A and B are shown apart, each in its own frame.
Chain A
Amino acid sequence: GNSVTQMEGPVTLSEEAFLTINCTYTATGYPSLFWYVQYPGEGLQLLLKATKADDKGSNKGFEATYRKETTSFHLEKGSVQVSDSAVYFCALTTRRANQGGKLIFGQGTELSVKP
């Protein structure tokens, strides 16, 4: 079946450090891949997405590249800020014609950035 595996947290970094959160997936067909972020006390927000192999999603300084050969979608940011402290979820959806597909999430990775 389809599944997503993320690196375990919590991840603690100093401000301006480089961030990588690993995400690998198992899926049939050609999934779309997503990173969602959940700030304390808030709902899930879409951070970025990629819909086909070699696509790079980017937003707010975060990037992730859809790697079909390694079935990965690692999240990176060159310089994190305290305000990036949140829980990050990697997710996939398999396409259905004319229908949104359900999202399958990883377990989430908590990021804590210290000043």
Chain B
Amino acid sequence: EAGVAQSPRYKIIEKRQSVAFWCNPISGHATLYWYQQILGQGPKLLIQFQNNGVVDDSQLPKDRFSAERLKGVDSTLKIQPAKLEDSAVYLCASSRREDTQYFGPGTRLTVL
């Protein structure tokens, strides 16, 4: 079974630029999560989808971050405009309707 796929793996941008990350979950997983992991910290949930509906986006900075999950499969997370403090690893995870979440390799974003 293929794992969670993410791209790109690395991205370097200037502050105030825009960036987008893509995630393809494990086939059949209805729930998809985006986490932000700042260096030296544990991951923090940004947004959770159940199929293509948003379940929890309470920690998403909505003035600059947006996410969508069209057709209930792939998802895109966008930052516009980026700030220095957005430098982090962005992790995508997916799960069936149960506890265990499976993580992708992440996208490391550096904002200069």
Contact = CB atoms under 8 A, between A and B. Distances in A.
B5 to A, nearest CB: 11
A4 B43 CA distance: 12
Contact of B43 (A44, A51, A100): A44
Contact of A100 (B4, B31, B44, B104): B31
Contacts of B102: 46
Contact of B99 (A4, A43, A89, A101): A101
Nearest to A102: B45
B99 A102 contact: no
Interface stretch (A59-67, A73-81, A105-113): A105-113
Contact of A105 (B42, B50, B97, B98): B42
B91 A99 contact: no
A91 interface: yes
Interface string B1-25: 0001000000000000000000000
Given A43-B104, A44-B43, A32 B33 contact: no
A93 to B, nearest CB: 6
Interface of A: 4, 32, 34, 36, 42-46, 49, 51, 89, 91, 93, 95, 98-108
